[in-house]
Structures are given as structure tokens and as C-alpha cells.
Amino acid sequence: MTQKIILTFPSEVSGDPIIYELIRTYDIKVNILKAEIQPGQIGTLLVELDAEEDKVEQAKAFFTSRGIATNPVSSRISYDESRCIHCGNCASACFAGALRITPPDWRLHFDPEKCIACKLCLKSCPLRLFSIEFSPLN
Amino acid sequence: MAKTYEEINEKIRQGKAVVLTAEEVAEMAKTASAKEIARKVDVVTTATFGAMCSSGAFLNFGHTTPGIRMETIELNGVRVCGGLAAVDTYVGATDCNPQNPTYGGGHIIEDLVAGKEITLEAWGKGTDDYPRRHVKTLITKDSINEAYLYNPRNAYQNYNVAVNSTGTTKYTYMGTLLPRLRNAAYSTAGELSPLINDPECRTIGLGTRIFLCGTVGYVAWNGTQFHSTKEVNAHGIPTSNARTLAVVGDLKEMSTDFLRGVYYEKYGVSLFVGLGVPIPILDEDLAQRVSIRNEQIETVISDYGDNYHILGKTNYAALRSGEIEVNGQKVRTAPVASLAKAREIADILKAWIQEGRFELSAPVRPMPTGTSVKPLEIRGFKDETGIQ
């Protein structure tokens, strides 16, 4: 199975080779989609983990043991649907194909599975309806 | 077999008018001839809902005691026109305060329509008849005198497709254009678009009654940059930006469902305008015109990263398929104007006409012919562009 999660690193571990340990110890295929990490500061990493379900669970336990918060991506990007005018500006920018304006209704459809949290939709929505939130540290 | 406006209006009054949207008539035209359509259909509704930067509103605030000749005017901290008598202004959709560029004229207009309170602050030098030099107060659309939308250039007849061939992302009024042709943005409502369905403006002229932002509005004039001599394709449709409409309507009657202030990253503020135009099917020629289908409407692909260089041509059926080819490369397409909202407008206008609440008006003056658009020449001064 593959699972996309956002890892939020506390400042004290943001210099550690966490991903190296993850691959070595749990034999998980890791695809880093986005990284915002600087030693000594809170960092975030969007990763896709490709492994058996039990290994993914072990990896999550490993992250928790190191004080790293894990959150599925789908719960992170959201937009105010009630104010959406289905103009398509977000979909135009969304190269990952998560936001699409499609027939027959030509309304906005969001597929969280495809979202790589690049945040282009936040800038591209002319109504500023999108938000992305990172969860507080454990 | 020709019909008159009066005959159609009589049918509307009797609740007997046959009204279709432009999409419905395009579908009907697959099996019906123009002659049959002209006989069966009385009115076709067209619509669009997109960002139209050349929009704005005239407001009259009323006089204070003692009076002020407002020479510098701010609404919610945004400078608006101070050059209209003592207490009139024009709020341009793209007006903004450079210190707070994400809120501007388009948002003020939306806030007024929504009934919100707006802070008005104004300054004058003080005159014998208007001695006051400063005023600060709260206004709403109901507390002021007139408030009407007057948009100098709306409803462009066709528009180019925007792409970006450079190596960096471009932030434009056509949205975010990704580098190396990673997306193509288009804005016209295709076969539903008003000026595509009456391409020579046979029925659209000064005084044409329309749907404007949720209420009844009127075509006030030909829009600015009205270009009536653009090259047309085999179906009589200009293949890029051509004619436009200047429109007017009562802001107090409008709805934020069909009027929205917007901000484009690194570009600025604009206004989304919802506009619907009824086309009376007076004869076979008009029946033929409104039968136009997306694959018959072509437009050019323009490189916004390279001085609007034309990279090719496509049509709206291809654009809506989700992918076009540019320079031998497959490019993902997406709209940047709302077809869902445009359909809603075409349906509402259709219902108004069917219910006998909206009659058609013949133009009191036709649109001009033989016009084109001049560029601005630099003369008398050294050309200092200031480009960084």
C-alpha cells in the first residue's frame, strides 16, 4: 500500500537523518514530495510511504517515538466550498491533478489522494478559499 | 418567416415563448435545420461569468452638513476617484491601496452589494460653498443615494488561451501559468458565450436588456477596445479578442452570487461579473448563428511569457477535452472562468423570460462597424519602461 503523510519535526530532531533510519530499519520505499526542513527549526516533510500496512504502522510508531507528528494529507488542504465559484484557477495551477473542473457539471472536484501539498492552490484561488494546516507537535 | 421583437414580446407576455439556452439550441441543431429552429424557438439565452477588470460602480454619497467638496476619497482605505463633483465617485474594480494589495475596488463593490458597512473618509480644501475639509463615516448601499455598476468593457467576444513557455511561473490575470507549457488557461464560455451567438451584433446594441449580476441591466454602449474587423473563421467567429460590451445596472438590486471581488497573486484586484444576454430568433440567419458548437469556435494560443507571441490555434471542444497540443507538446487545459455559473445564469434568464418577467428590447442604436484597436505609441518623450 502507499500512504501520503505530512511529518512535522520538532526543532530538536530536524537535524537528524530520520528518513535514512526509516529506510534502513523498516525497508520502506519513501518518496519525498515536499520538504521544508532547516536544522534547529520546526520542519515539515510530505512523504509517500510504499510498504506493507504493518510496516507503515511500525514506521508511524517510530515517528511518534521521535516526537514527530504524522498526519494524512487528506485532512490538511481544505477550501470553503460554500464560497467557491468553480472558476477553475486552482485546477489550472494544480499540476498534480488533485483539483479538477470536469464535465458534465464543470464544478470543482478535489481528490485528496493526488494532492502533494504544493500549496499553489492557496496562491491561485482568486477568492483565497484554500487553507493548509499543520498539526501541533505532540 | 421573420419574427419581430413585438411578436416575441407578445408571446413572452402570454407565457408562450419558447426559450432555450445556447447549449440546448446547439444540441437541437444536431438534428434540426436552421429553418426549423427559427420556426420553433423564440429566444436563446447566453451567459458568461468571469473576471472582468474593466468594471466599476458610480456612487453618490449624499451631502453632509456643513457640506464638503470631496477631492480625495477613500473607501475602506482604498483611494477612489475624487474627480466627480462634490459627493460622487467611481470605484474602479482594480482600485487598490498598494500597502494592502489583496483588497480593492472589486471587494468594495462586493461588500456594498452584500449590504456591509463601508468606511468612507474624504478630504477637501474647503470652499465658500463647501467649507468642511474632512469627513469620516460609515455607509451602506441603503444609506447612500445612487449606486450603479457601469462596466466599460465586459463580455469579450472570444479570448486567447494563455500559456507560458519560459522557465519560471507567471502570475497573470489568466491565473497561474506554470513554466514550460505545463498548463493552458482559457476563459470564454464557448458556445454559451453572449457575443459568440450573435457575432455581428445584429440584436445586441445600445439599450439591449440583459441579466447583470443577478438583476436586470442594459447594454449602455459598445465596450472599449471594440474591434469589429478581426479575422473570422469559416463559421463567422473572430478567432481572438474582438467585440466587447459596456453594461450598466442597479448595484442595489445585485447579488453576490453573481458578482465577486477577487485578487490575483502578484497581479491585483478584479471583479467577477455574471452577465446573460437573450438573443431573439428573428430569422433563419440568427437561428444558424445560435446553433454554433464548441468545435466551430476557434481561438489563438498566446504565450504570456513571451510578449503574447501566438503559438497556434485551437477550439473550445479541444480545450474542454482537458488537453491540447502546443508546439508538438501535450498541454493540460483548464478554464479560469466559471461555466457552472454561466449555465446557472443562462437558466435563470430563461426562466425570467418563460415566466413573462423579462421582455426583449430592440437596440436603440446598433454597434459600430469597421472599428479596430490602436496601440499606444510613445512619442515626444524618451521611452523609459521602468521594467525590472
* Cβ burial B46-62 (10 Å sphere, 16+ → b, else e): bbbbbbbbbbbbbbbbe
Q: What is the pLDDT of residue B134?
A: 98
Q: Cβ separation of B171 and A123 shorter than 8 Å? A: yes
We report the CATH number of the domain holding residue A37 as 3.30.70.260
- Residue A40 identity (one-letter amino acid): G
For B204-260, how does the pLDDT look when each residue is reduced to its tens digit (9 = 90+)?
999 999 999 999 999 999 999 999 999 999 999 999 999 999 999 999 999 999 999
Is residue A137 in a domain?
no
pLDDT in tens, chain A (138 residues): 778 888 888 888 777 888 898 898 888 899 888 888 777 778 888 888 888 888 888 888 999 888 898 887 755 789 999 999 999 999 999 999 999 999 999 999 999 888 887 889 999 999 999 998 755 433
CA atoms within 13 A on the CB side of B84: 13
| A44 and A108 part of one domain | no
Paired sense of beta strands B147-154 and B118-123, if any: unpaired
Tell me which residue has cell 420553433: B40
Average confidence (pLDDT) over B59-73: 98
Is residue A138 in a domain?
no
Domain boundary among A57, A74, A91: A74
Q: Where are the alpha helices (DSSP H) in B58-130?
A: 105-113
Q: How confident is the prediction for chain B on average, in pLDDT? A: 97
Domain boundary among A74, A92, A110: A74
**For residue B60, pLDDT beyond 80:** yes
Q: What is the pLDDT of residue A138?
A: 36
For B325-359, how does the pLDDT look when each residue is reduced to its tens digit (9 = 90+)?
999 999 999 999 999 999 999 999 999 999 999 99
Q: What is the pLDDT of residue A1?
A: 73
Residue numbers in B near A128 (CB within 8 A): 102, 263
For B86-95, how does the pLDDT look when each residue is reduced to its tens digit (9 = 90+)?
999 999 999 9
Residue numbers in B near A95 (CB within 8 A): 178, 182-183, 332
**For residue B1, pLDDT beyond 70:** no
Cα–Cα distance measured from residue A127 to residue B270, given in angstroms and rounded to the nearest whole number? 11
Q: What is the pLDDT of residue B388?
A: 84
Instruction: Give the total number of structural domains in chain A.
Output: 2
Has this prediction a pTM greater than 0.95? no
| pLDDT-based confidence at residue B160 (cuts at 50, 70, 90) | very high
Q: Pick A91's closest partner by Cβ from B320, B334, B341.
A: B334
Residue numbers in A near B185 (CB within 8 A): 88-89, 92
Cα–Cα distance measured from residue B240 to residue B230, given in angstroms and rounded to the nearest whole number? 8
Is residue A81 in a domain?
yes
Cα–Cα distance measured from residue B292 to residue B275, given in angstroms and rounded to the nearest whole number? 19
If you measure CA to CA, which chain A residue comes closest to B268? A126
- A-contacting residues in B 259-278 (Cβ below 8 Å): 260, 262-265, 270, 272
For B270-316, how does the pLDDT look when each residue is reduced to its tens digit (9 = 90+)?
999 999 999 999 999 999 999 999 999 999 999 999 999 999 999 99
Helix (H) or strand (E) holding B288: helix B284-290
Cα–Cα distance measured from residue B186 to residue A88, given in angstroms and rounded to the nearest whole number? 10
First to last CA, chain B: 62
First to last CA, chain A: 26
| A109 and A125 part of one domain | yes
| A7 and A30 part of one domain | yes
The domain of A26 spans 2-74
Q: What is the pLDDT of residue B328?
A: 94
Nearest residue to B108 via CA among B149, B79, B75: B75
- Residue A106 identity (one-letter amino acid): W
- Positive or negative, the CA dihedral B362, B198, B16, B343 is negative
Q: Does B104 touch chain A (CB under 8 A)?
A: no
Give the total residue count for chain A: 138
